[in-house]
Every structure is written in C-alpha cells, then in structure tokens.
Structure 1
Amino acid sequence: MKTIWFDIDNSPHVLLFRPIIEILKSEGYNIIVTSRNFAQTLPLLEKYNIPYIRVDGHGGKNKIKKVFTTIKRAYGLYKVLKTYKIDLMVNHGARAGIIAARMLDIPIISAFDYEHTELLLIKLFSDRIIIPSVLRGLFSGSKFYYYNGLKEEIYLCDFKPDNSFLLNFPFDTNSDKPLVTIRPPASHANYHNKSSEIIYNYVLKYVLQNNCNVVLVPRTNVDISAVQNLSDNIYIPSKPLDGPNLVFYSDLVISGGGTMVREAAVLGTPAYSIFTGKPASIDIELVKQGKLTFIRTLADVTKIKIQKKRSRELVIPNTNVRDLFIKIILEKIN
C-alpha cells in the first residue's frame, strides 16, 4: 500500500484536499496529514474527521521570523515523518512541508493560484506544479500542469445546500435584512498589504450603517476582540461554519482573501474583494466576468450593494478540476 502525505497548513486547504483524500483512500492509498495551529485549520480538520499530526509553526508578520519559523517547522516535520515510508507529498503552497519532503527525498506535487506570493521553494523543489490555466503565460515548463477554472471547484462540485443551516443563527434570517458575510484581511500572510486593514475598517463601518446582519469569519483572536462590542448585529461563530453553505445563504460576501470570494463567484453570491495587494490573475478574470468587484480605495466602498440576493439559483461546477488533480497524483505515484 502506497502512502501519500498531505501538509495542510491553512484553513482553505482543508476543504480543498478533503474530497481528494477521500477518493484516494477509497482507491486503497494510505494517507498521512500534517497540519499546524493556524487560523481555523485544526478545528476544520476535526470538524471533517480528518486525522492529523500536529507540527506547529508560524512566524507572524515579521518576514525574517517567518523564514526561521518555516525552517524550524520543516525540521519538525522531518523528525516526525522520517520513520514513515512515504511515496508522495502533496500541498498547496506549504513551504515547510516542501522543505521537509526534499530532506526526506519524497517526490512533491505542489499547487498555487496566486502568482505574486513567494514561489522560489515551490518552483525549485516540486516535481509537478498544478496551477490555473490563466497563469499559463507566466509559468511554463515540464513541471507545470494547468486546469481550467478555480481550485474551489474541487469541493464545490459536490455542494448541496443545507436547508437547516441558518436555524442556529442568533438573528431572524427570514427577515428583510440582508445577510452579509465578512472575512478580514490575512494580516499575517507574506502577501499582506496594510491598506487592506484600512479598507476593512472602513467597510465594516459602512456595512453596519445599513440595516443588515453581519457574520464575521475571523482569522485571529485580534479580529474577534476588535469587533466584540461594536454592534449587536455582528455574529462571530464560536466554531468553524460550513463555508460553502455560509456563502450560498449570504446575500453578499466581503473578504480580504481569495477563497471566500471565489466560492461566492462559483455559487452565485455577489462578491467583493478588499484585498489591496497585487491582484491574482484568476480574480481579474472573475472581475471581467462580472462575478467579483474589487474594493481597493475608500471611494470604492460605495460600490458595495447591501441588498437581498436577487436569486438563489444554484449552478454546480463539474468535476474536471478535481479529476485533473487526482489524475496527476496517481500518475506521479504510480
């Protein structure tokens, strides 16, 4: 039985790899998952009953500290996994995992969809790299494999709305008040731009001035403490919610990151990105398609339309992106 190792070091990648792990398990492969205590990553792994080995490490905002923490976590992964016989490592931009896999002489399949992040380790050490086809003109070579669409389609192709999802919310979700989901910027990411925090604070005030209910999906405890006494109309879940259901039942989504706005674009919910760093090519394409609006200045904030969603018609994507990921994994391991 061959063993595949997934290093899942950030919240969105739990949903991303969950269906792939389930399919590979059903094909008879042994799966090892490593993770770290960062954002909602561990609670989400527990929510979906994915066993994991915890190896912590995150350097915060300081870039030098990030480098040393990445190396330290890589060594921690090496020590934990050196007694295992692992045939392949899979990740989505998990740099510590990539270093550890190279130290262990394990073949590496990596993926990324944001071209402006630090990519040296990914390009240098990965055997195969899976990226969106909109990046084809920027990255080429025998290592690169391209998919049409969004990585979020990997799990949204199986999405089924839960009719009871809103029942436990602390406000009347059947009222005329729009339901607004807000995700703060990723202040600890290596691609973070401080302007995003200014925009976020302004957007939050703007939204609360309107007659609506807000679900805040925090990244850190700082995000929570900053809004705890701001308004009774803000709901901060104590446990990770089902992200796709939250996006589907929201009337609009505002996020400082990419995953949630792309989920909204797929599921037909108006999406606004308050990320002010260099925009991803995939997000620029969504703007062209009318599925995403950039909020990059204070003047742009008035572009946000706080209103009930006109339609909840659900268009489910096909399984093509998921099928390609699994095909590449199986081809490499076999």
Structure 2
Amino acid sequence: MKIWFDLSNSPHINMFHDMIRDLEARGHEVLITCRPLANTIDLLKQRNLEYHVVGEHYGKNLYKKLFGYPIRVNQLRKFLKNKHIDLAVSQSSFHSPVVAKLLGVPSIYTNDNEHAMGNIPCFMFANLVLIPENLPVEKIVKKGGSAKRIKQYPGVKEGIYLWQKGEQIHAARKQNPADNKTIYVRPEPLTAQYYKGGLNFLDSTLEALQDRFSITILPRDKTQLEHYRQSKFSGIRVPDKPMHFDQIAKECSLFIGAGGSMTRELAILGIPTISVYQDELLEVDKFLLEEGIMAHEPNLKPETVEQMIQSLENKEPDLQLMQKGKQAYDLFISEILNYNR
C-alpha cells in the first residue's frame, strides 16, 4: 500500500515519525509532503525523513489563508495525481482530506483542536476522523463531521507517539536527575489562525528570571529568534536550530508553553509543565488541568515560577496517559491497515 502523509506543521513530525517507520518496516511505501512553516523542514531533516515541499504558508491573516487554501489544494492534487496513492493520513492538515477526495482516495484525519476553522472541510470529507476520548463527538458533528465516521482513541494525541520514548526518557532522568534550575520555554503560535492571545507577553517574566535560572527559548520562526536575541535577553539561550526533543525532555526541570502540542508532550511525560496559553483552551487541555497533569497560568509571574520550582523536590511523575498511548498507537495502525488493498 502507498500511503501519503501531509506533514504541514512541525508537531506532525513527532506525531507520525515512528508510525511511518513502522509502516515502512511492514512493507508499505510512504510519501511525505510538507510546507515551509515553523520548524517543519528542519525537523524532517533532523529525523532523516524524505519529503517533498509543496506550497507555502500564508501567514496569520485570515484573508491570505482563504486565498492560499485552494492554491495549495490544487498544488497537492497536481503533485499527487500520478503517484498512485492508496490512502491519505494527516493530523491537522486542512488540505489532505480535500485533496484525497479530489483524487478519489480514502483519507484518515485526526485533530484535537475543535476551534480551528480549517477542520470543517476535513471533518466533512475524511473517511475516518480520529479524536481523543476527552473530546465530545458532538463538537465534531457541529463542525460538519458525521458521527458514523468518527472514532475516539484512548488518552490524548501526544501519548500516541510518546508511549515508547517515555520509558527511555524517564530512565535517563532517574540516572541524571533534573537540577531544578533548567527551564525551557516555547513561545506563542503567532501565525496560527486560531490563536487570539497576546504576543511576547512572557518578556518581563523571562527578563526577571534569566539571572536565577538556566532558560532556553525554543523559537517557532525567525521572527521569534530575532526577538529573543535582543540584548535584554542576554542571559537566555536561543538555539539557531530546533533542539532534539529527547534532549529537552531529559534535562528540563520546568517547561513553560504558550502553545499546544509541545506543552502537552512534556506534561504527559510527567515533566512539570505550566501552560501560559492565552486563548480559549481546548477540551484536551481542560482534561489535563482537571487531572492535575499540568498547570495553567496565562499571566505568569516570576514568583509563580519560583514557587513551582521549589515544589518539585521528590515529586514523582504522573504517567497515566503514557499507558493509554500504546493502545491509541495500535488503534491508528489498525485503522490504516484496514485500507490495505
């Protein structure tokens, strides 16, 4: 079977890397398309995945996005029309199910962001929509999905690709315990259509903390890279290229995330995490907060960070969602293989 993955944003590489390698090991052929957004291409290179760049990202402006949407759909259709694809698989690629429909190919679509407008055509056209168990089916139906084509998987999305890696990471953390001084920060998704929160709102807190902690900023793009290279952040490390996720997870004492995927990734690994997301929370984030798996401080103050760091001593990680991740992974593989002709 020939399976097309459209990895259109940087979180998708972590999401599907192991699954792609697994499918290839089973004898299936995989074709990957992407676009130059955030750290996507850098991460594909880092993970040694062969890819084809198709189209571009049109920024945060809604009108530019609407203009650019059919352009990339058509670009993907032209690129794939003679590639003899059997199945399309994607996470939050708003183009993939539509392109698959135009090609007469079945598609599997997964998403845990019920607020994103781009989901509407995907929920309408995908043959199968996979969502986490904590996201009500009714919310997807309201956005155009059919209850008959929706299936819920155990746990949360991040568990699907972290269940195996999590064991290795925690073994490494036990051998070299975190020093309660190392903080990693992921800024806000400034180009995302769904994000309506503030920009650079962590600046004063980071300035206040940089002399007391080892802080690393994980910028999403060149705009953020240049912003945090200003002299007022001279005590903060700002890598030129994306850091390997394993390194972050092994040495991180506290993670502060203004976005979604990476924040949840660190949280379900049992690493102390503060979400500072300033827009409406997703159902999956509300679930993590209710379970006490992460904290939410949209107006984070330096003293809150210091208090949380002090409370970490001898705290055991909560790994309940890691156990569900394996079940969810097996479900994804099973659903993909159901389309084997």
The answer, yes or no, to whether TM exceeds 0.5 is yes
Shift of 1:64: 0.8
Q: Describe the SS at the equivalent of 2:36.
A: coil
Q: What residue is the counterpart of 2:263 in the other structure?
A: 261
Task: Work out the CA distance in 1 between the residues paired with 2:170 and 2:46.
Answer: 16
Alignment correspondent of 1:213: 214
2: distance between equivalents of 1:174 and 1:285? 28
**Deviation at residue 291 of structure 1 after TM alignment:** 1.5
Partner of 1:329: 336
RMSD (Å), alpha carbons:
2.4
**Preserved CA contact (<8 Å) 1:248 1:269:** no
Distance of 1:206 and 1:146 partners within structure 2: 43
Task: Tell whether 2:296 aligns with 1:289.
Answer: no
Counterpart selection for 2:192 from 185, 189, 193 = 189
Q: Which residue of 1 aligns with 2:244?
A: 242
Q: Are the aligned partners of 1:181 and 1:247 in contact in 2 as well (CA < 8 Å)?
A: no
Aligned pair partner of 2:206 in 201, 204, 207: 204
- TM-score computed with the length of structure 1 as normaliser: 0.89
**C-alpha spacing 1:24/1:213, structure 2 compared with 1 (3 Å):** same
Change in Cα spacing, 1:253 to 1:29, as seen in structure 2 (3 Å) is same
Shift of 1:302: 4.5
Once the two structures are TM-superposed, the CA of residue 13 in structure 1 deviates from its matched residue by 0.6
> Normalising to structure 2: TM-score of the pair?
0.87
Which 4+ stretches in 1 moved above 4 angstroms?
162-165, 173-177, 311-316
- How many angstroms apart in 2 are the aligned matches of 1:70 and 1:122? 13
Taking the aligned partners of 1:268 and 1:218, their CA distance within structure 2 comes to: 23
Pairwise CA distance, 1:177: 6.3
Q: Which amino acid aligns with 1:179?
A: T
Unaligned stretches of 5+ in structure 1? 166-172
Provide closer, same or farther for how the CA distance between residues 115 and 302 of structure 1 changes in structure 2, counting only shifts above 3 A.
Answer: farther
Q: How far apart in 2 are the matches of 1:46 and 1:311?
A: 38
Q: Give CA-to-partner distance per residue, 1:25-57, whole Å, 9 cap, x none.
A: 111111000011111111111111110111131
Residue identity opposite 2:149 in structure 1: K
2:335 counterpart letter in structure 1: I
The structure with the greater share of residues assigned to helix is 2
Tell me the distance in 2 between the aligned counterparts of 1:102 and 1:321.
26
Q: In structure 2, what residue type is equivalent to 1:151?
A: K
Whole-Å separation in 2 of the counterparts to 1:53 and 1:260: 24
Counting only pairs closer than 5 Å after superposition, residues 104-115 of structure 1 correspond to structure 2 as 104-115=103-114
Amino acid at match of 2:48: N
Q: Which runs of 5+ in 2 are unaligned?
A: 142-146
Amino acid aligned to 2:216: V
Question: In the aligned structure 2, how far is the partner of 1:282 from the partner of 1:174?
Answer: 29
**Cα pair distance change 1:174/1:20, threshold 3 Å:** closer
Alignment partner of 1:149 out of 150, 155, 158: 155
2:80 is the counterpart of 1:81: yes
Distance 2:55 2:19 in 1: 24
Note closer, same or farther for the CA distance 1:301–1:68 as it changes in structure 2 (3 Å cut): farther
Give the equivalent residue in structure 2 for 1:169.
Answer: none
Cα distance, 1:80 vs structure 2: 1.1
Alignment partners' CA distance in 1, 2:266 and 2:172: 19
Partner amino acid, structure 2, of 1:320: Q
Q: Which amino acid aligns with 2:299?
A: T
**Matched residue, 2:233:** 231
Take 2:234 and 2:180, find their aligned partners in 1: how far apart are those partners? 14
